[in-house]
């Protein structure tokens, strides 16, 4: 009788540990980029151990103190992280051992960007708060008003430039 209980307990622990350690991998694509990224922003702890692949473009962000951040993003409608009610970007601060390609046509609404395919994991569930100057209606910088944007950091394991990006969506909405 004791052996049966011990065996049952062992099986229960084995099954529980196998299923609880099974983290899902995520591949963000044209159909799910905005949905998965938004979910990651609200529930980052659920994605911490997951391998994440995504196609994005490089983006440089400077805070009010002129600190430089290089991000991997897509543009989206006023969604997560945007308090101004205008279009914004959604993505990650990139942490990569090698050089990250410089942004191209950053201030122009075009697909002609520096696109890359990234693989890696979220560094932690802690957000970096970046205070930036707000923008005026005409797109110029308003140095009198600031807003804060929150980003998770993404530890990049591999980075590949994407040469043919014509089928990638610069602007994601769902």
Check: pTM over 0.85? Answer yes or no. Answer: no
- How sure is the predictor about 6, in pLDDT bands with cuts at 50, 70 and 90? low
pLDDT in tens, 15-52: 444 444 556 899 999 889 988 998 999 999 999 999 99
Higher pLDDT, 4 or 153: 153
**Which residues have CB under 8 Å from 27's CB, separation 6+?**
52, 53, 54
Q: Where are the domains of the chain?
A: 25-172
Distances (CA, A) of 112 to 72, 86, 128, 159, 170: 15, 21, 28, 18, 9
Higher pLDDT, 138 or 167: 167
Above 60 in pLDDT, residue 9?
Answer: no
> Residue 42 has what pLDDT?
93
For the chain, the C-alpha Rg in angstroms (whole number) is 20
pLDDT in tens, 74-125: 987 655 544 555 667 889 999 999 999 999 998 888 899 999 999 999 999 9
Higher pLDDT, 108 or 12: 108
């Amino acid at each position: 009788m004791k052996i049966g209980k011990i065996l049952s307990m062992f099986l229960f622990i084995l099954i529980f540990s196998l299923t609880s350690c099974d983290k899902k991998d995520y591949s963000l694509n044209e159909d799910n980029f905005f949905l998965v990224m938004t979910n990651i922003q609200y529930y980052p702890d659920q994605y911490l151990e997951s391998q994440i692949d995504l196609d994005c473009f490089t983006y440089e962000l400077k805070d009010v103190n002129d600190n430089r951040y290089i991000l991997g993003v897509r543009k989206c409608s006023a969604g997560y992280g945007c308090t101004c009610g205008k279009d914004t970007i959604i993505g990650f601060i990139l942490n990569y051992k090698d050089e990250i390609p410089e942004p191209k046509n950053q201030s122009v609404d075009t697909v002609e960007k520096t696109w890359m395919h990234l693989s890696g994991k979220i560094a932690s569930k802690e957000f970096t708060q970046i205070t930036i100057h707000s923008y005026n209606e005409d797109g110029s910088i308003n140095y009198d008003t600031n807003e804060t944007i929150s980003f998770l950091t993404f530890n990049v394991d591999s980075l590949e430039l994407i040469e043919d990006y014509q089928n990638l969506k610069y602007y994601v909405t769902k």
